[in-house]
Chains A and B, each alone.
Chain A
Amino acid sequence: MGDLALSGVKVLDLSWYIAGPYCTKLLADYGADVIKVEKPGEGDPARKIGPFFQDEPHLEKSGLFLHLNTNKLGITLNIKSTEGRKILKELVKKVDIVVESFSPRVMPGLGLDYKTLEKINPKIVMTSISNFGQTGPYRDFKASEIVEYAMGGEMYSSGIAGREPLKLGGNVGQYQAGTMAAVATLGAFYGTDFQGEGQHIDISIMETEAGDADRRSTHVMGYLAAGVITNRWVPPREAARIMIMPSGVYPCKDGFINTLSMPTWFPRYIKALGMPGLKDDPRFQNVYNGETAPEFDAIWYNWLADHTKQEVFEACLEAKIASAPLNNAEDVVNYSHLKDREYFTEIEHPATGRIIYTGAPFKMSESPWQLRSSAPLLGQHNDEVYTKILGYHKKDLAKLKESGVI
């Protein structure tokens, strides 16, 4: 199986939905042994969220679940039962890291708070991911992707002036919280050696957004440093022009492109357009001349109308202009540059057959990312984990199954 970056790191994963599972996916994909604990019979709620393979709602066919749980072992355990909690505590002795994403009252309510787990395993790093953190007036509040983005993130300035604020597409805030949780978890684990003890990490999704580099923390800092409240802006093409070169999203022959301009880039644009004659055009000698900008637009829009988004992209890359096509998922999966880098990867899963998955978020020369196994079926590794790791006999397992513990 090769030597991976996190080989030998053992993780007990009690998390569900997106943030926690993405955190443990990062750990698992780089080599950690992750045991995912799910509720008997139902599993991670993500199993009930689409998109589903061939649109058939089924616990083993959720694309969201399959995406987030690669390389993990899956067991079922009812941690609300006394027997279940006992087993969980045995597992805690065998691992280095516990990740959970229950609302803050749940783990203490089950007698499984950090203080208890620390007594069982002093070197344990316990990461708790929740909507608003383990303390504070909102800690028991409910949230969703859009609620986190509104309260923690930069929703206020997302969208355009005169319209309502606009959510970012997808569930990127949840994924980002998971990524930040992975950073904190691995950082803490790295430190346990000389600390001689583990610790408890409190991840508030609201705070991962409030401190985020998607612009949120910088915009908040803009207020603290200069009283600036960054608001929603008018669309670039309606804004007062400060440069003749374009910035923003523009239509082209078969879709849209996004482009950006720096003040010194006029020569780059005439190179991309293949119109060297513009160099001496008296209208464009001062790039800050907003008045002649519409005349440059006329040339630019006409050129775009004759070129596909891919052609525009290639021409701009050649001219060193920061520009890109607005891809959809189909374009992304078929993007030639990603094929050069062998980014997407395929793996077999019993319920779906071979499916293409996203690949390594970074390539390590010595300890590469590997897709070793697809997401576990519900309870797929019960036998393996309970007999090999915890030393239960087969007949004990049958009994536990009967009583609904696993």
Chain B
Amino acid sequence: MGRLPLDGVRIVGTPVVIAGPFATMLLADMGAEVILSESIQHFPPVTRGAFPRPPQFIVPTTGGGMIGGAGGLSTYYDHWAGSRPWDRYVMFNNLGRNKLSCCIDLTRPRGVDVFKRLIKKSDVFLESNRPGSMDKLGITYESLREVKPDIIHINMPALGCTGRHSQGALFGAQLQALAGHTWLTRYPDLDYTTTQSFIFHADACAGATAAFAVLCALQYRKRTGKGQHIDLSQLETVIPHLGEAIMEYTMNHRVQDPLGNRDANMAPQGVYRCHGDDRWVVITVDSDEAWQGLCRGMGNPEWGKAERFSTVKGRMENHDEIDRYIEEWTSRHDHYEVMWILQKEGVAAGPVLDGRDATHDPHLASRGFFEVVKHGETGVHLYPGISWKMSKTPLGIRKAAPCLGEDNDYVFKKVIGMSDAEIKELEKEQIIGGDEYVEGASAF
């Protein structure tokens, strides 16, 4: 097997919820050995589920509802939490690919000692805890440097390690709000209380940016031999993704308002109902040529020849009218059919794909996006795969997400080099090892 770009890099992590797990996933995908330092005493919220052993009424069976009710975020395989729910939580298993798991109780000094022995053999420590929460355990950048002088320590809390609100433990929804993204995401005819979206760009953005941060530090260490500490505020990774709105304010002292599904510079753009139940297509006309293409695709209707639609300015002014004409046409066609007709005419158009459509999409399939993976507790499933292709070091899902403590042996014996006797003794004390949460493991 060929070497992967990050072969030989060992990352220890205590990432929680989504952003940290996504960051470590991207690094594991490129070959880093990512070891999750978990614990049978402490259950991190919304990482391996909402509760260690969820009551059946919060195990969802449908795709609608709120947190704790239903939907992708709280889904268990086959709607069955089983006796080991933490190994059956879809979100963890999706983001946990290519990683290893060991259990160490960091709340006891001997656990911290084991942890530091692991750090001594590692290159990077990634955490997404509130600043200071690891300090209490005696785990700080300074103390890790003592055992590993060139360690790279990245902490990626919601609001960063310094500043008056650094203790704020916020989730994606609140980061979106603080960053000004929620402000820009709204149906123009409804207010914010009604249009709340449950898609949180902040998690994705912070995770990917954190992976980039680790690579920057690795590159710097390769050149200078020095490790360092990285203070990543998830909020501060999102704001640059909203550059236009920020620049509009800093240059012109004007606040951008939400546009719904329309665009500031191109028209028409929108989502249009198609034939079938809750089927939709999106269309962007980005030039006068594309407008001609749209008209051709629709069979050159008489209304399309109107002078007032021939310029982008005119199409902006008459957007509602155009939308009605377009939807009259799209509603007679399947969403994929509209895509094929309009793309042939040089118009940007595509179906709104739900979770099932995506798994059958011919393009994703032809590029081998989905991969078959066998997981110890849940069996064989297709999984969304790697988000990019590398020509000489093809990436893939080398192993499924780890069950809790699945790699205890490997980590304690092979990586740290502990003796069987020491392992046995520490296991007896439940300082290391184990593969199920103790009764009363903390949840929130």
Contacts and interface: CB of A to CB of B under 8 A. Distances in A.
Given A183-B26, A231-B63, A322 B236 contact: no
Interface in A241-288: 242-243, 247-251, 256-260, 262-265
Interface residues of B, number: 188
B160 interface: yes
A147 B64 contact: no
A340 B185 contact: no
B199 A154 contact: yes
B183 interface: yes
B376 to A, nearest CB: 14
Given A144-B266, A150-B350, A362-B232, A175 B240 contact: yes
A211 B195 contact: no
B178 A364 contact: no
Contacts of A298: none
Contacts of A328: 180, 183, 245, 255-256
Contacts of A243: 68
Contact of B216 (A198, A352, A367): A367
A51 B168 CA distance: 33
B329 interface: no
A112 interface: no
A50 B388 contact: no
Interface in B342-358: 343, 346-358
Interface in A313-355: 317, 320, 322-333, 335-338, 340-341, 343-344, 352, 355
Contacts of A207: 364, 367, 369, 387-388
A230 B72 contact: yes
Most buried by B among A171, A249, A356: A249
A223 B235 CA distance: 30
A337 B165 contact: yes
A172 B91 contact: no
Interface in B254-286: 254-256, 258-261, 263-266, 269, 271, 273, 278, 280-284, 286
Given A135-B367, A329-B180, A340 B164 contact: yes
Interface string B222-265: 11101111111101110111111111111111111011110111
Interface string A211-246: 111111111111111101111111111011011000
B195 A166 contact: yes
A169 B185 contact: yes
B185 A329 contact: no
Interface stretch (B3-11, B36-44, B105-113, B403-411): B3-11
Nearest to B178: A324
B170 interface: yes
Interface residues on A, range: 35 or more
A210 interface: yes
Most buried by A among B3, B224, B239: B239
A167 B197 CA distance: 10
Contact of A151 (B95, B243, B247, B351): B351
A341 B163 contact: yes
Interface in B5-24: 5-8, 18-19, 21-22
Nearest to B378: A225
Most buried by A among B93, B182, B226, B357: B182
Nearest to A264: B444
B325 interface: no
Interface string B298-337: 0000000000000000000000000000000000000000
A322 B199 contact: no
B350 A233 contact: no
A220 B359 contact: yes
B366 A136 contact: yes
B260 A166 contact: yes
B100 interface: no
A364 B64 contact: no
Given A167-B261, A226-B78, A364 B388 contact: no
A201 B369 CA distance: 15
Nearest to B358: A220
B143 interface: no
B22 to A, nearest CB: 4
B159 A337 contact: yes
Contacts of B232: 361-363
Nearest to B207: A213
A326 B180 CA distance: 7
Contact of B282 (A53, A132, A146, A163): A146
Most buried by B among A6, A8, A152, A364: A364
List the 9 closest A-B pairs by CB distance, nearest first.
Answer: A169-B184, A191-B5, A63-B247, A219-B72, A324-B174, A144-B284, A223-B355, A213-B22, A211-B387
Given A175-B240, A198-B392, 14 more contacts: A6-B216, A142-B286, A150-B350, A164-B271, A169-B183, A202-B388, A211-B386, A251-B192, A324-B170, A329-B242, A329-B246, A329-B256, A332-B249, A362-B237
10 contacts: A50-B265, A54-B252, A144-B269, A158-B199, A221-B75, A237-B193, A249-B177, A341-B236, A359-B236, A364-B220
